[in-house]
Amino acid sequence: MTKTKHRVWKYGDKVNTDVIFPGKYTYTISGDPAALARHALEDLDPAFASNVGIGDVIVAGRNWGNGSSREQAVTCLLAAGVHAVIAASFARIYYRNAINSGLLVIECPQIVEAVATGDEIEIDLAATQLYASGRSYGFPQLPGQVLEILDAGGIIPWLRANALADKQ
């Protein structure tokens, strides 16, 4: 099966949306990827935005993304090139927003303790396995329709494709 390789940025428990993407920018920055990427994790890790590479993943503890419903807390990571967020658990709205914006989110508490910033991990989505430092970690299969939305790149492209298909 196809495994993909990624570099890890590791964070702790309860990282909230205000430190992922500050509220003061929410009505002035929304669609511009470069501006979104520039402020990603600004109040959590000032070193992140300038050093993150395309395909990197975030590994974090419990309740990633609690707080606001702002979607920029998801899209700023996509704009920065982040491939996935792997966390022990997610806040409800963040989880929905991630899928609806096409950001892969994986709940896998076991791997969190095992990796650190700079480590390499591999993701096998089809086999629902993560690999890090010679070990593998399973995660629950995402429901079919959720995968469909993720594959389409989010709820808008998915809905668009469905609406156009209905018209034919």
Instruction: Assess 147 for contact with another protein (CB under 8 A).
Output: no
Instruction: Assess 45 for contact with another protein (CB under 8 A).
Output: no
Instruction: Assess 26 for contact with another protein (CB under 8 A).
Output: yes
Classified as helix, coil or strand, 43 is: coil
Instruction: Assess 18 for contact with another protein (CB under 8 A).
Output: yes
Among 118, 140, 164, 168, binds another protein (CB under 8 A): 164
CA distances from 2 to 126, 127, 130 (A): 8, 9, 12
- Please report, as residue ranges, which positions from 58 to 87 form the binding site for another protein (by CB under 8 A): 62-63, 66-71, 74
Per-residue binding letters, 97-126, with another protein (x by CB under 8 A): x--xx-------------------------
Per rule CB under 8 A, count of chain residues that contact another protein? 44
Instruction: Assess 43 for contact with another protein (CB under 8 A).
Output: yes
How buried is 27 (Cβ within 10 angstroms: 0-12 exposed, 13-18 middle, 19+ buried)?
A: exposed
Q: Which is nearer to another protein, 55 or 157 (CB)?
A: 157
Among 40, 82, 89, 111, binds another protein (CB under 8 A): 89
Structure tokens at 77: 């990571």
Q: What is the DSSP string of 60-110?
A: E-TTBTBS---THHHHHHHHTT--EEEES-B-HHHHHHHHHHT-EEEE-HH
CA distances from 165 to 40, 149, 168 (A): 36, 15, 5
Instruction: Assess 38 for contact with another protein (CB under 8 A).
Output: no
